Structure 1
Amino acid sequence: MPLYEHVMIARQDLSNSQAEGLVEHFGAVLTDNEGKLVDSEYWGVKTMAYKINKNRKGHYAFLRTDAPAAAVQEMERLMRLHDDVMRVLTIKVDEHAEGPSVQMQKRDERDTRRERR
C-alpha cells in the first residue's frame, strides 16, 4: 500500500488531550477503511507565521500512514469537515524515515549545519 505523511493543525483553544484525541480519532478512521496508522507525533502548540481563522497558534500533529488512497481521501474529507481542524497537508512518500521527525529531535541530535564564512 502507498505510504503517506500528514501534518494537521488544530485550534489553539483545545486542550492537549483533545488534540491528541483528534489524532486517535483519525487513526481509527484509517483502520476502519483498511489502512494502518504507522506512527503519530504530537508536536504541541506552536506559533504560526500568519493567522488562520483568527488564530495565531495551533496544535500541530504528524501522522505516518500506510493506507490505500480511498482511506486517505476519506480521512482528509473528515478532517476538512471537522470544526477543530484548521489545516491539513498530506504528502505521498516512498518510505518512512526511521526515528522521530525533525521537529521532535533535539538541536544536538540534528545534522550539523555547514559553517558560515
Structure 2
Amino acid sequence: MRKYETVFVIRPEMEDDKYAEVIEKYKALIENNGGEITNIDKWGKRRLAYEIDHMREGFYVVVKFSAEPKTAEELDRVYKISDEIIRHIIVREDD
C-alpha cells in the first residue's frame, strides 16, 4: 500500500453537522476500498485564495491514508462528481 494525503474543500453554506457527514462519507469510501486512515485534520472555514463559483471561503479537510492506487483513483472520481466538494487534490507521499 502507498501513503497518500488528500485535501478537499467543502462548500461553506452547509450546517456544521453536515460537514461531519461529508467527512464520514469520504472516510468510509477509503476504508471500504481497502484503505487505512492515519489522520484526519479539520481546518475549518477559511478564505479561499481566489473566488470559486462565487464563493470566497470553504471548509478545509486534510486526510492522510494508506491505500492501493485503485482506491485513490476511485476517491478522485467521487470527488469530481460530488456537489459538496468545490476543490480537491490527492498527493502520493514519499515512502
Quickly name the TM-score band, shorter chain normalised.
Answer: over 0.9
Aligned to 2:6: 6
Aligned to 1:51: 51
Largest Rg, 1 or 2:
1
> Following superposition of structure 1 onto structure 2, how do residues 9-88 of structure 1 map, counting pairs within 5 Å?
9-88=9-88
Return the TM-score normalized by structure 1.
0.77
Cα RMSD of the aligned pairs, angstroms, is 1.1
Q: Give the conservation status (yes or no) of the 8 Å contact 1:38–1:66.
A: yes
Unaligned runs of 5+ residues in structure 2 are none
Give distance in 2, aligned partners of 1:68 and 1:93.
Answer: 13
Amino acid at match of 2:91: I
Task: Tell me how far 1:23 sits from its aligned partner.
Answer: 1.5
Task: Tell me how far 1:53 sits from its aligned partner.
Answer: 1.1
Unaligned runs of 5+ residues in structure 1 are 96-117
User: Is the deviation greater in 55-64 or in 75-84?
Assistant: 75-84
Larger relative contact order (Cα-Cα within 8 Å, sequence gap ≥ 6): 2
Return the TM-score normalized by structure 2.
0.93
Map Cα deviations across residues 4-43 of structure 1 (whole Å, 9 max, x no partner): 0000001110122212221211111111111111110111
Q: Give the conservation status (yes or no) of the 8 Å contact 1:6–1:90.
A: yes
Give distance in 1, aligned partners of 2:16 and 2:92.
Answer: 27
| Secondary structure, counterpart of 1:5 in structure 2 | strand
Q: Give the conservation status (yes or no) of the 8 Å contact 1:27–1:36.
A: no
